[in-house]
Amino acid sequence: MLSSPEDLLVFEYDAGFDRNAPSAVVVPGTAEEVAGVVRAARDAGVGVVPRGAGTGLAGGSIACGGAVVVSTSRLRRILAIDQESRAALVEPGVVNLDLSNAARRHGLFFAPDPSSQRVSTIGGNIGNNAGGPHALRYGSVVQHVLGIEMVLADGTIASFGGRAPDLPGYDCVPLIVGSEGTLGIVTKAWVRLLPVPEHVHTFLALFPDIETGALAASRIVAAGIVPAAMEMLDRTTMGALNAAFDAHLPEEAGSLLLIEVEGLTEECTAQVARIEAICAAAGAFGARTAATAEERELLWKARKLGYAALARIKPNNYLHDAVVPRTRIPEVLRQVNAIAERYGYVTANMFHIGDGNLHPILLFDARTEPIERVMRASAEILRVAVDAGGMLSGEHGIGIEKDEFMRWVFSEDDLGAMRRARDAFDPDGRMNPGKILPGGEHCAAIATTRAKRALAGEMWV
């Protein structure tokens, strides 16, 4: 167990801006040890917060109200890869990319690929229902979890689902995926694996501005084509990537679409031709194709390092995760950029345009610019997305970052039903207290939580 102030320091934050130290950190190595910790915490009347790699952006692994953090970093074994059933049994501390790399030796892969996949773990991916660029075709994590072993709030170990699909009884697996540790601590999971596609074609389409790129993306999907991935980068992001990593992205483009199609060779060839024609008709002025696997890796490396590259512009940023209808993207982005301009922030856009999952990024310097001001601008951006018929999160989760905004999209009856579902698993509210649902007091002492609560009430219409 870790309890000294210097040890606890690294567990008081994730990749977001909320901060709060746990009372202690425990690092169990087996499901039975996890159960023992949960029982001890229950007997002591202490909350429990599961934590994976700490790459979350919504404050989901921040300990509130004197809770104990249970780190799953030692639970990192791939227990089985069943090639015939196309499934793998893994512990929650397995790194996302490590699972895919291990599966590829069997001609398989794990489809969910968040940008943090080199470091984020399966437990955290399950907790937040992570997505990634390839969620457009393959769906987010909930589509790829078959079964879960989980330690419940009373310390018992329960199993839900399993290796075989469509088991009888209540299907609790989709409820657990995305529950952010509020129902229990995942200790094992059966996950679905997919066969490596025969052919992959990755290319860039260049556009003069965001509007024409967004128009092309909408037309591609409207034509009945669902690429494996379709990402958009704006001029700000491309410039940062060129400066940081010499990515050789075209400086003259206002935006680009990074598009990938997968499947049979003939199918891919036909789809690429149709996509290129649609892009040209929408205003694309150029295209680049990855001729080799190495070039494909470089294109995806550029996309997934974009977040880090933006630090060359400003040392801090606030990354959003709203989802809007695809046809509303140009309008929403205009409003987002207007908000950033009004507050004086540089904004960058790098997001999953295929499924409308926006990631507008406000760039700022926390040494001279107060976080409360950035939070106000961020709340306005979320309000724009909700008013456009969108949702608060596509893959990052709610945590304590957006819990107070849940009333913008759910009625009190809706939220009451969610609370009753949570209470069925955890009647005392000790599993990851203060997360997802608004109005709780566990995290009220955190300054950023108080600020967000005030903003949520001010903008609640």
CA distance 265 to 267: 5
Please list the ranges in the chain whose pLDDT falls under 50.
Answer: none
What confidence score (pLDDT) does residue 460 get?
Answer: 72
In the chain, which residues fall in CATH 3.30.70.2740?
A: 311-459
Beta carbons of 58 and 432 less than 8 angstroms apart: no
Strand arrangement of the beta sheet that strand 24-26 belongs to? 24-26, 68-71, 48-51
Domain 199-286 has CATH 3.90.1640.10: no
Beta carbons of 384 and 337 less than 8 angstroms apart: no
In the chain, which residues fall in CATH 3.30.465.10?
A: 78-195
Q: For the purposes of burial, counting CB atoms within 10 Å of the CB of 224, is it exposed (0-12), middle (13-18) or buried (19 or more)? A: exposed
Kindly report each contact of residues 453-458 with a partner whose C-beta sits within 8 Å and lies 24 or more positions away, as own/partner: 453/404, 455/375, 455/376, 455/379, 455/404, 456/379, 456/404, 456/405, 456/407, 456/408, 457/404
Beta carbons of 174 and 142 less than 8 angstroms apart: yes
CATH class as words, domain 78-195: alpha beta
CA distance 421 to 438: 15
pLDDT in tens, 207-244: 999 999 999 999 999 999 999 999 999 999 999 999 99
pLDDT in tens, 158-186: 999 998 777 788 999 999 999 999 999 99
User: Which residues have a Cβ under 8 Å from the Cβ of 375 and sit 6 or more positions away?
Assistant: 17, 318, 448, 451, 452, 455
CA distance 212 to 206: 10
What confidence score (pLDDT) does residue 197 get?
Answer: 96
Alpha carbon 358 to chain centroid, angstroms: 11
Q: What is the CATH number of domain 5-71?
A: 3.30.43.10
What confidence score (pLDDT) does residue 254 get?
Answer: 95
What confidence score (pLDDT) does residue 461 get?
Answer: 58
What confidence score (pLDDT) does residue 237 get?
Answer: 95
Q: Tell which CATH classification among 3.40.50.300, 3.30.70.2740, 3.40.50.620, 3.30.450.80 matches the domain 311-459.
A: 3.30.70.2740
Two tokens, residue 94: 């397995």
CA distance 273 to 280: 11
In the chain, which residues fall in CATH 3.30.70.3450?
A: 199-286
In the chain, which residues fall in CATH 3.30.43.10?
A: 5-71
